[in-house]
Homo-oligomer: A and B are copies of this chain.
Amino acid sequence: MIVVMKPGAAEENIRAVVTYIEQNGLTAHLSKGEEVTIIGMVGDKSRLSTENLAIYKDVDRILPVTESYKLSNKKFHPDSSVVKVGNTVIGPDNLTIMAGPCAVETREQLFAIAHAVKKAGATILRGGAYKPRTSPYSFQGLEEEGLRYMQEAKAETGLSTICEVVSMEAIEAAVKYVDMIQIGARNMQNFILLREAGRSGLPVLLKRGLSATIDEWLNAAEYIMSEGNPNVVLCERGIRTFETATRNTLDLSAVPVLREKTHLPVIVDPSHSTGAYKYVPSMAKAAVASGADGLMIEVHNDPAHALSDGPQSLTFEKFESLTKELAPFCTVVGRTFL
């Protein structure tokens, strides 16, 4: 943490900042320039609310120097993490494809989709049983019944499974039926849910919040990890911007940025970010090229009659043709797939 004083700051006001720092057991380093004085702090910063220094007289700005996340920080854990999910692993050597319907609708629908995505190369089946919807009048999911179908689909196909959770009850149910839980974008800063997910013992896919900075996202991962659960995978799914041609703006630069800041695996969801099936293949390929460890893609047997997110779902044919097109990109980036 660095305190920048205003030009011409009074000596007594510089003193006051130094005193505050020292009273909190830290050491202050003064650096007096021609225009401004800056004061660096050395020591255990968790002891003081450094942001409060902003209100001291003649203080111009407070500049943070170190990140507040530790367990997810690559600076302290340089090797890339590998996360085991059921029979498969997410990490630097693979391209993991998670695919399935936005919402589990019926047992038959889910089985049909599970067989199709397995055939095309997916290793994890996704399916929503608890749906956070903007309007209370939209379909909200089959809940525990949907999770049971996921378990049956796993038994039938051998695919690993992932399901979004939105509450403690959903986590308790998910633990019984699926291999990985997902925290959705709208709950990325639902800190209670993050802690519960941390305690669940299951690997967690943490989607980026619609307006979350990468730093906030890593702090959210820290909530899960600080409960003793190191198995966190990050999922970029688009951020909110002024552009309306796509549902959200996929921030693919987040992939190399995260690669530098964290050791956690990173996957990309081209379905929710674009909101339109026709843009999914381009963004899926771009994600692989950017270095992502995997993809999450919505696939539906009959998008025109899907209860949720039909317009962004791929048909079986389109999904199969996409995975075929992805294969040579995997070869180029040196990842195994299928």
Listed in ascending order, the chain A residues whose CB lies under 8 Å from chain B are: 2, 4, 6-7, 20, 29, 31-36, 38, 40-43, 46, 49, 51-56, 63, 65-66, 68-69, 75-76, 132-138, 166-168, 186-187, 189-193, 195, 210-211, 213-216, 219, 222-223, 226, 239-246, 249-257, 259-261, 273-274, 276-279, 282-283, 285-291, 303-311, 328-329, 332
Tell me the nearest residue of chain B to A184, going by C-beta: B189
11 contacts between A and B (CB under 8 A): A31-B31, A31-B40, A34-B43, A36-B65, A52-B311, A55-B310, A168-B168, A239-B241, A250-B253, A286-B287, A286-B290
User: Once the chains bind, are B243 and A214 in contact (CB under 8 Å)?
Assistant: yes
Q: In the docked arrangement, what's the CA distance between A41 and B32, Å?
A: 10
User: Once the chains bind, are B244 and A213 in contact (CB under 8 Å)?
Assistant: yes
Q: In the docked arrangement, what's the CA distance between A119 and B41, Å?
A: 39
List B contacts of A213 (CB < 8 A).
242-245
User: Once the chains bind, are B135 and A222 in contact (CB under 8 Å)?
Assistant: yes
List B contacts of A65 (CB < 8 A).
4, 33, 36, 38
Given A132-B189, A332-B329: A240 and B253 interface contact (C-beta under 8 Å): no
List B contacts of A290 (CB < 8 A).
282-283, 285-286, 289
Tell me the nearest residue of chain B to A193, going by C-beta: B190
Q: In the docked arrangement, what's the CA distance between A307 and B304, Å?
A: 43
- Closest chain-B Cβ to A22's Cβ sits at a distance in Å of 15
List B contacts of A277 (CB < 8 A).
55
List B contacts of A69 (CB < 8 A).
135
Tell me the number of copies of this protein.
4
Q: In the docked arrangement, what's the CA distance between A205 and B328, Å?
A: 31
Q: Among the listed B42, B239, B242, B253, which residue makes an inter-chain contact with A279, where contact means beta carbons less than 8 Å apart?
A: B253
Q: In the docked arrangement, what's the CA distance between A146 and B12, Å?
A: 37
Q: In the docked arrangement, what's the CA distance between A4 and B66, Å?
A: 9
- Closest chain-B Cβ to A40's Cβ sits at a distance in Å of 4
Given A256-B283, A290-B286: A244 and B244 interface contact (C-beta under 8 Å): yes
Given A213-B245, A243-B239, A328-B332: A51 and B310 interface contact (C-beta under 8 Å): yes
- Closest chain-B Cβ to A47's Cβ sits at a distance in Å of 12
- Closest chain-B Cβ to A20's Cβ sits at a distance in Å of 7
User: Once the chains bind, are B242 and A135 in contact (CB under 8 Å)?
Assistant: no
Q: Among the listed B54, B134, B219, B256, which residue makes an inter-chain contact with A135, where contact means beta carbons less than 8 Å apart?
A: B219
User: Once the chains bind, are A38 and B2 in contact (CB under 8 Å)?
Assistant: yes
Q: With A36-B65, A51-B310, A249-B253 given, can you name 16 additional A-B contacts, CB distance below 8 Å?
A: A6-B75, A32-B42, A38-B65, A56-B304, A69-B135, A133-B191, A136-B226, A166-B190, A211-B240, A214-B243, A240-B240, A242-B242, A256-B282, A260-B278, A283-B290, A285-B290
User: Once the chains bind, are A273 and B249 in contact (CB under 8 Å)?
Assistant: no
The 9 closest A-B pairs by CB, nearest first: A211-B211, A289-B289, A52-B310, A186-B189, A33-B42, A29-B31, A286-B290, A256-B282, A285-B289
